[in-house]
Amino acid sequence: MPLINLADVSLSKLRGYHDFVSSLSKYGLLVCSRVKRLLKAFQPVLADQSHRLFFSLDCHETWTTISGYELYETWLKNSKDLSQDTAHAQGLVDGATAHDIKQFRDIITTPEYAKKDYFSTDNFHNWIRPVAFEAWMLWFREAVREGPRTSSRMSSYTASSISRPSSRMSETADLSSDERNPRYPPSSRATSSAHSAHSIASSSEVIIISDSDDEEDEKRQELVTSHAVKREPKERDEIGTRAIKRSRSISPEIQFLSNSSMGIRKIPKKTGKGKSRVLDVSPEGSGPFKLTSKLTVDSMTTITSLPSTWTVPRDNSATLVDLSAWDNFPRRPNGDKYSIDALIRAEDQDSWGGSVGRSAREVHVFGFDEDDPTESVHCRRAYLHCNGVDICEHFDQEILEGCKRYEPDPDEMRELWYRELDANSREALEEVNIVSRFYTEIQKLKCKVSCTGHPMMRKLASGRSKVGKDHFIGCSGWKYTERDKHRYLPIPSNIDEDILTKVMANDGVLPSNVTSNLNPACVLAVHPRAALKACRK
């Protein structure tokens, strides 16, 4: 989803975010039914000007957050599917941990307000709206309930676009090295899937993923995926959308299996956002485990579900993804089956690039037969690398300097969002910056006929416009016979004509006597899957 600019959000929607759960009518505010439905983000008392903490729409940038507004928009789209019984929402609040309360608070409001006594964990019953907290538990905090989850924009929007080191964007690894401990660059993932002459009813597919960092060259991760399907997958009633919906195929939790012959121990499920996906553990039994003729790992862990974000282990370990218990497998939008490596990548929220198939060569992988560890499976490799994040050409490189991520870090993501929110608010408040953006729009205007003219300010023949402006933007090549074919743009009410006149006369350059609080650098950084082609000027 494109990054939200809160400066462009209408006041009615900001007021809706302001009161996420109930209308403000009991405080004497008269609002239409549409606004009443939107007013749902905080306790109504925060809209009361007599309250010691008052959230004013005049300075919404001090208390609004992008992540909180995104949660509100997600709730609007999915609230009709929720139960009207508020007892469930209240029960979630009553059973919340201090960690949950703090996470929720950091999502819906800014640090300036989060540290106020009113928003303390001791006072949480007074400021938490149960329905808003329920929405956060459903669509923002992972692994909070059993069973399928409702698909929403939040699941993709909260993906950690900086969950791995920014330096790990384009390098690859080669598992064919003859060294006992080959060195892998930090961005590499090597993936392999099994070839089989049999039908899918008896096939096995394997994926091997290698990852490490520059400082610990000899440490690496191997992800080995066994896909033993016992029968043909059933046709789905509906073909999934571009992203695989967990509610149809993916278990909401990772279950770890015990495998004594391979030295794998049962790992208890951990609570908290992303904790159930942590694979950096020390299994029982003695290693090493031989995976290929040239690759051996010290430990191995088995999981039976596909995580949405993979952590990067800091030891020489492997993960076996066993999907043999799955009855139905998701399919592509056109109905075709996923290969095992494509299935893992489709479920993964991170963005990966690289080579798969025969171009990456083939390999024999051991460790799937408990009775005979020397038995191997014929597989194909897939070398993948992290695509990092997409940034503006004017991005402040110091923000990501030295950035290394071994597991998702919501705090770092939130800090990046705050930077953009602050930058947008700062630019939106100054007349010079508004004129600068309007000048950019002027330069994009094109005439409908072949014309060598250029944009210029022209005097209105009928006096002032309805918004009090004396000029409009026209074309220097205007002709009466082509009066409807040339560029035309009225000047908005928030544009200072004097400043615009000077900027137009100076080819877009601000006069030396005009100062502005322009941002020295851009802070836009988005997930590669957002498909944003250019930063908004």
Question: How many Å apart are CA 188 and CA 214, to the nearest integer?
Answer: 11
- Residue closest to 129 by CA, chosen among 105, 158, 99, 98: 105
> Largest alpha-carbon pair distance within the chain?
92
pLDDT of residue 215: 39
* C-alpha separations of 162 from 30, 168, 521, 531 in Å: 44, 11, 19, 16
DSSP, collapsed to helix, strand or coil, labels residue 422 as: helix
pLDDT of residue 170: 31
SS (H, E, C) 214-235: CCCCCCCEEEEEECCCCCCCCC
- In angstroms, the first-to-last Cα distance of the chain is 18
pLDDT of residue 536: 56
pLDDT means per 10 residues, the chain with 537 residues, are 58 64 32 36 52 62 75 75 71 82 82 79 80 77 40 34 32 34 34 33 37 38 35 37 34 35 37 36 57 83 86 83 84 86 84 70 74 76 79 77 78 77 70 82 90 91 88 90 89 88 84 63 72 62
pLDDT of residue 510: 76
Q: What is the pairing mode between strands 471-475 and 489-490?
A: antiparallel
Peptide bond just before 288 cis, omega within 30 deg: yes
Instruction: Show the CA angle centred on residue 170, arms to residues 169 and 174, nearest 5°.
Output: 120
Which residues on adjacent β-strands are paired with residue 379? Answer: 194, 363
The count of residues in the chain is: 537
pLDDT of residue 447: 92
pLDDT of residue 473: 93
pLDDT of residue 262: 39
pLDDT of residue 471: 92
Side-by-side strand order, sheet with 471-475: 455-459, 471-475, 489-490
Which amino acid appears at position 421 of this protein?
L
pLDDT of residue 347: 85
- Residue closest to 171 by CA, chosen among 158, 185, 159, 181: 185
* Tokens coding 64: 């609004």
Q: Cβ neighbours of residue 87 under 8 Å, at least 6 residues apart?
A: none
Query: Side-chain half-sphere of 251: how many Cα atoms within 13 Å?
Result: 15
